[in-house]
Amino acid sequence: MRRVVFNQKGGVGKSTITCNLAAIGASAGGRTLVVDLDPQGNSTRYLLGDAADEVEATLAGFFDQTLNFKLNPLPTEAFVQPTPFDNLHVMPSSPLLEELSSKLESRYKIFKLRDALEELDGDYDAIWIDTPPALNFYTRSALIAADRCLIPFDCDDFSRRALYALMENVEEIRADHNRELEVEGIIVNQFQARASLPRKVVGELVEEGLPVIEPFLSSSVKIKESHEQATPMIHLDARHKLSQEFVALHRRLDERRRAPARRKG
């Protein structure tokens, strides 16, 4: 199963959600890969810490070699790095992704990520793709490569307005390039149960029939400690409320994975 975590709005927790759900699957014994397509590299640093600065084989190198014919290109697995956590691997990001974007788009390399991840499917039980906060070459590549899309949502009116356009963009990619792509759900992040606005906004999304997934992820300062220590919540404090919410969310997604995918016309 390949999942992409996508929202065009920044600061909604894409990297946090990607890495924590991936870490939970890996901690349960599933071989898991995180693909970090965001040039900011937040997922890479979250999983590798300071060692991220020493990595040489990154996604920039992978994409760069698609632009230049080589007799002996590096295999896809050469761009996969182990993390300090059992069963968890990462294809690291690089700031160089930014400058490669226009070249890759003009040369129509939009299917290269899908082809690469298909090569790795047999090695992993789950692949999680983190994306930039924009609908660009890398995001489109991820949506074409993925089976399902998860959309982080942070409970404000701006996010709600952007949500409709985002879902239309996903639907366009599905119709044009990836008929198997499905919006699996909206993940409510930084939820404050005692505040009236988040309850109101989320309630309205549910009433509209949008695929909001429970449990919601609570707002917590503990996540900042998790980022600082480059340690996903399940390894930092497995009993913490937020850790348990991530575990419950992963379980819910796993149940959905086992259910037949909804076919679209």
Looking at the DSSP bridge assignments, the partners of residue 191 are 218
- Token pair, residue 27, equals 């901690």
Q: CA–CA separation, 202 vs 191, rounded Å?
A: 9
> pLDDT at residue 112 above 90?
yes
> pLDDT at residue 264 above 50?
no
Amino acid at 70: K
Amino acid at 99: E
Q: CA–CA separation, 47 vs 128, rounded Å?
A: 13
- Token pair, residue 214, equals 């429970």
Position 257 confidence tier, pLDDT thresholds 50, 70, 90: confident
Per-residue pLDDT tens for 144-156?
Answer: 999 999 999 988 7
Per-residue pLDDT tens for 158-200?
Answer: 788 889 889 999 999 999 999 999 999 999 998 988 888 888 9
Q: What is the mean pLDDT of residues 17-39?
A: 98
- Token pair, residue 9, equals 């709005």
- Token pair, residue 245, equals 């919410």
Instruction: Of 51, 108, 112, give the one whose Cα is nearest residue 82.
Output: 51
Q: CA–CA separation, 88 vs 29, rounded Å?
A: 9
User: Residues of the chain with pLDDT > 90: what percent?
Assistant: 83
Q: CA–CA separation, 251 vs 258, rounded Å?
A: 11
pLDDT given at position 69: 78
- Token pair, residue 116, equals 């690469």
